Amino acid sequence: MMKFRFRRQGNDPQREKIKQDLFAFNKTVEHGFPSQPSALAYDPKLQVMAIGTKSGAIKVYGAPGVEFTGLHKDTATVTQIHFLQGQGWMVSLLDDNTMHLWETGQKERCSDLREVRSFSLPGRSGIESTSVTRVTVLLVKSSSDLLTLGTEGGGVHFLELPSLRLVDKSLFHDEIMQSVPEDYRCGKSLGPVEALQEHPLHAHKILIGYSRGLVVLWDFKSRHVDNLFLGKQLESLVWVRSGSSFVSSHSDGGYMVWSVSSSTPCIQEPVTSTIPYGPFPCKAVTKILWRTTQSGAALVLFSGGMPRASYGDRHCLTILQDSVHVTLDFTSRVIDFFTVHHVDRDHELDDPSALVVLLEEELVVIDLQAAGWPTIPAPYLAPLHSSAITCSYHISNVPTRLWERVVSAGLQQCSAQTCTNWPICGGKNLAPAVKQRELLLTGHEDGTVRFWDASGVALQPLYKLSTASIFQIDCEHNDSFTQAAEEEWPPFRKVGCFDPYSDDPRLGVQKICLCKYSGKLVVAGTAGQVILMYLSDEKSDHMIDLATVDLLQDREGFTWKGHDRLPPKSGSVLFAPGFQPVVLVQCMPPAAVTSVTLHAEWNLVAFGTSHGFGLFDYHRRSPVLARCTLHPNDSLAMEGPLSRVKSLKKSLRQSFRRIRKSRVSGKKRGVVSSPSSKVQEANAQLAEQDSEVTPVQRRIEPRSADDSLSGVVRCLCFADTFLRDGTHHGPTMWAGTNSGCVYAYALDVPLQEKFSEQSVEALLGKEIQLMHRAPVVSIAVLDGRGNPLPEPYEVSRDLAKAPDMQSSHSVLIASEEQFKVFMLPKVSAKTKFKLTAHEGCRVRKVALVSFSSVASEDYSENGLVCLTNLGDIHVFSVPALRPQVRYDCIRKEDISGIASCVFTKTGQGFYLISPSEFERFSLSARVITEPQCQVYVERPYESSEVSSCTSVSPQANGTHKSQSPGQSRSAGDAEAVIDELQSALSSPCLDSPNSSADITLDTTGELTVEDVKDFLVSVDEAENNLRNMTEEDGRPPGILIN
């Protein structure tokens, strides 16, 4: 008897070429504000800015669209950044005491940032007691050929640039002490070097400031001390542009102006000494700037200095000019700041035009030329987390009319901001013009919805919508306190938009849905509020219609233990131009809304919570349907997300019940013995022999019907399809729950001219229960050609091709474990793919995406994109559900990143890599949004002379990848990878990200002082070591001090 074996067909070369033209994975750009910034620098010649972070990233920004990133090899905090002005090089200092030289290079005609080399001062800087060589401050000379280093031990060292070689011209604090008066020494050291400033007119002279208060003007060329200034404990120094004087700031909250005179080598008294917020004890003035202006009065800017007792917790920056005094009050800590001013010697004055302040949570820019010093709106680096992001929603191909109206409403909100051009305008954006507009909507914890321009690299804020104004909340009286405090001293002015506090947690936005053709918006919140809004170009003063929908339907035995509903305001409310609330639908019980959808053409909005779902006709202001989805044992749903009375006893009881049930089911399967069992064993043996016929599937245990929160409504959708019979189609509504149940309702929607006369009616048509009771994540109806149905108004306005209504439709139901296509109207299974059984992962996010080919604009395919709990992305064909490609996208440990992911309809996506940053990625080979920019530099050395390494640095989060379909795992490549997998599994070192083996060994043990005492050296010994190194090299250390 002949034995036939069925093998999988090999890869189709033509299909593989099509897949390469359709799919490609790229992490393209990071939107938002860098997480945990730690350093700031500005190049006035190139007009670009650099921000360093605690994760070791350096991000360079210029004109909108000009940005690129570099990442240090070691994860260490960037403490300082300094540009070599106009040359495209910069030096960074990390908290591990290493210095790194970076080069702005070119790759495919676009600029990128590359690390060239690094350097660290000799010494055991890792041990705190020997940190005398730890660098505290850097200064790049104006000639850009020398880097000056100040250390904790009081020494000053010099490095050649760009080679980073140590020069034998070090200056140590004991030589400085020889020129200090006897009464100032007192047997104490000068302390760490706090500040280094080059003389504005004589580049060979350097101002050196020590922590104890001594300031030295040292002549680098003649190698002697010109002047000594004896002051108080020092924080920072800055030269006046003329070079005849300088300003020092101090730890007591004051600053001093010192005159530089060659006739007086030792000066003990400043020209002026001021404590702006005295006489009571004040905090230190950490940095000060002194800029000359055309008006003759100097512009003084400093951070800190607040009275300790009254305002010691404030984060402030003060601006003084003549009699004008403004104290900028921020909501996060000041990291650093600089002014945009004239640096060429042709100008006699600084004449600053803008102040740029880097804060811990945002970037603020002040217009110093306009009256009142207003803020300049930032075209990028917007703080996405001004209030914590709770949900996201993306709209592709936004109509021009809607775009213009949203932009217009946003401009009217920015009346307090100036229209001055963005001052950081270096580089050139080479990206092509945007073909279509994209909107990204983010819902926030404080009840606001923010609209962002996501069309390009720079994520720019357009419009802010607040829902708190329609509710009575307890914190509205804070405004009066703020107004009363404005007349007090200091003259505070609130600046910035970062506000981490929410007036009421119930205001949090959970779901958003926008119809881009009608301008209707639905915002659903944490307390069961569903708000319908219309877009209006004029302000309005009107009352909001209220409606209540009881989702429990008088079911007995359930008592809501969670938060109360938000009380709406009574009477009319004034609304600014933009989206204005019209109807407020309150779900009862007031649980958080878990799903919402809108069909503007039918005037219907559907919403779901953990108790059920409802359908509302907002044209007639009347509920159409309310369905309770609670299981009798689902008492956890009655406690709400803000409740603290969750039953530990019940959760333990359910856990033990599942364990007992799995054990019993295992025993039952083990004792089964019947004549048919031998046949099953024989079939199993045949299956093992022909293992390549069917892939290995994991056994999935059915979920219990009484699992907690089984009634949560996970998804809702509207569709015009066949539900009652195969000849008549009509409006339908679909709902999917956490227990794997799908409800399909046939809707009787009147004609448009009869909306006011007839009401919408809903009739349950189908009820589907999935076998394993896995939560339903998404539902989508496909037409006769297998294409998704068009959006409302697209067909009626000739914006999309009409769906195929001749052939039978199908519905695609995606659960956490599998995808399944059912034929309509009989709801018979057509095809399915068991993702959990095959891949061992669960579905978290699903979207239907249209992929366009790179080879031909006319060719495109629809795909089902799936993000799993392991952070990988799968793409399947629709409706055949054949696996196409798989990519690793998000770390499986990054739960918040996976939960925040949102896909676009053109094959891109966004997810949060930090509370303030979106990572943008692309799955499409054609649709890619990435920086394409160039910064033109002129440097005295060729890049080849400096660096032979041209490796591209990864992105700031260290996850920059570019995967093509040929590099990804597709279903057709399974056989080719088997041998590779087997060898990897047999290897003693597992480096798979999914491996649970922990091969990290801790061999440190416990360190004591006895173990390391031989390595500890004193300050003098460390300095002697440096001297010996220079003497052994044959270089005399001769330093002359007169």
Structure token digits, residue 448:
């606001």
* CA–CA distance, 391 with 592 (Å, rounded to integer): 13
Say if CB 849 and CB 906 are below 8 A apart: yes
**Percent of the chain, pLDDT > 90?**
65
Above 70 in pLDDT, residue 450? Answer: yes
Other CB atoms within 10 Å distance of the CB of residue 1: 2
Above 80 in pLDDT, residue 742? Answer: yes
Which residues have C-beta within 8 Å of that of residue 395, sequence separation ≥ 6?
438, 439, 440, 441, 514, 516
Of the listed ranges 155-159, 684-688, 998-1002, the least confidently predicted one is 998-1002
Q: Which residue has the tokens 């000594």?
A: 228
389 confidence band (pLDDT: 50, 70, 90): very high
SS3 408: helix
- What pLDDT score does 474 carry? 73
Of the listed ranges 7-11, 215-219, 852-856, the least confidently predicted one is 7-11
SS3 812: strand
**One-letter identity of residue 1009:** V
- What pLDDT score does 264 carry? 80
Quick one: average pLDDT of 141-170? 92
Above 90 in pLDDT, residue 325? Answer: yes
- What pLDDT score does 707 carry? 58
Residues 288-306: pLDDT tens digits?
A: 999 999 998 999 999 999 9
Quick one: average pLDDT of 66-91? 94
908 confidence band (pLDDT: 50, 70, 90): very high
Quick one: average pLDDT of 438-443? 97
Mean pLDDT of the chain: 84
Say if CB 604 and CB 760 are below 8 A apart: yes
481 confidence band (pLDDT: 50, 70, 90): very low
Say if CB 248 and CB 237 are below 8 A apart: yes
Q: Side-chain half-sphere of 178: how many Cα atoms within 13 Å? A: 10
DSSP for residue 255? E
- What pLDDT score does 5 carry? 45
Residues 872-902: pLDDT tens digits?
A: 999 999 999 999 999 999 999 999 999 999 9
Dmax (CA) for the chain in angstroms is 115
Above 60 in pLDDT, residue 649? Answer: no
- What pLDDT score does 20 carry? 95
* CA–CA distance, 543 with 30 (Å, rounded to integer): 42
More confidently predicted of 996 and 233: 233
Say if CB 244 and CB 259 are below 8 A apart: yes
- What pLDDT score does 6 carry? 43
Quick one: average pLDDT of 462-469? 95
| Cα separation values, 399 from 15, 462, 597, Å | 35, 15, 20
Of the listed ranges 460-469, 658-667, 773-782, the least confidently predicted one is 658-667
- What pLDDT score does 663 carry? 55
| Cα separation values, 826 from 681, 748, 766, 805, 806, Å | 36, 20, 9, 16, 16
Say if CB 519 and CB 598 are below 8 A apart: no
* CA–CA distance, 207 with 197 (Å, rounded to integer): 5
966 confidence band (pLDDT: 50, 70, 90): very low
**One-letter identity of residue 920:** R
- What pLDDT score does 1031 carry? 45
- What pLDDT score does 1009 carry? 38
* CA–CA distance, 34 with 380 (Å, rounded to integer): 11
Of the listed ranges 231-235, 391-395, 1038-1042, the least confidently predicted one is 1038-1042
- Positive or negative: CA dihedral 641, 646, 648, 651: negative
Burial call 1005-1014: b when 16+ CB within 10 Å, e when fewer: eeeeeeeeee
Above 90 in pLDDT, residue 553? Answer: no
| Cα separation values, 132 from 124, 125, 180, 829, 1009, Å | 9, 7, 21, 74, 19
More confidently predicted of 678 and 989: 678
132 confidence band (pLDDT: 50, 70, 90): confident
* CA–CA distance, 682 with 688 (Å, rounded to integer): 10
| Nearest CA-CA partner of 511 in 605, 383, 418 | 605
CA 123 and chain centroid, separation: 38
More confidently predicted of 263 and 533: 533
Burial call 594-616: b when 16+ CB within 10 Å, e when fewer: bbbbbbbbbbbbbbbbbbbbbbb
- What pLDDT score does 632 carry? 72
Quick one: average pLDDT of 955-980? 45
**Percent of the chain, pLDDT > 70?**
79
Q: Which residue has the tokens 């010996």?
A: 1028
- What pLDDT score does 187 carry? 59
Above 70 in pLDDT, residue 758? Answer: yes
SS3 377: coil
Across the beta sheet with 902-903, the strand order is 902-903, 908-914, 917-924, 23-32, 962-963
Above 60 in pLDDT, residue 675? Answer: no
Above 50 in pLDDT, residue 650? Answer: yes
Across the beta sheet with 810-815, the strand order is 776-782, 810-815, 818-823, 828-834
Say if CB 1038 and CB 175 are below 8 A apart: no
Q: What angle do CA 328, 344, 104 make, to 5 degrees?
A: 80
SS3 211: coil
- Positive or negative: CA dihedral 600, 601, 604, 608: negative
Say if CB 813 and CB 742 are below 8 A apart: yes
Structure token digits, residue 525:
């919140």
Quick one: average pLDDT of 388-415? 94
* CA–CA distance, 455 with 453 (Å, rounded to integer): 6
CA-based radius of gyration for the chain: 34
184 confidence band (pLDDT: 50, 70, 90): confident
- What pLDDT score does 755 carry? 79
863 confidence band (pLDDT: 50, 70, 90): very high
More confidently predicted of 47 and 632: 47
- What pLDDT score does 265 carry? 82
- What pLDDT score does 1005 carry? 38
Residues 797-818: pLDDT tens digits?
A: 888 899 999 899 999 999 999 9
- What pLDDT score does 904 carry? 97
648 confidence band (pLDDT: 50, 70, 90): low
- What pLDDT score does 974 carry? 41
Above 50 in pLDDT, residue 717? Answer: yes
The string of DSSP codes covering 679-727 is HHHHHHHHHHHTTTTS------PPPPTT-TTTT-EEEEEEEEE-SS-SS
Quick one: average pLDDT of 691-697? 50
- What pLDDT score does 485 carry? 47
Find which of 175-189, 259-273, 529-543 is predicted with most confidence, using mean pLDDT: 529-543
| Nearest CA-CA partner of 219 in 265, 275, 276 | 265
Give long-range contacts, CB 8 A cutoff, 24+ apart: 832-835. 832/881, 833/876, 833/881, 833/883, 834/697, 834/700, 835/866, 835/868, 835/874
Q: What are phi and psi of 664, to 5 degrees?
A: -65, -45
* CA–CA distance, 468 with 508 (Å, rounded to integer): 10
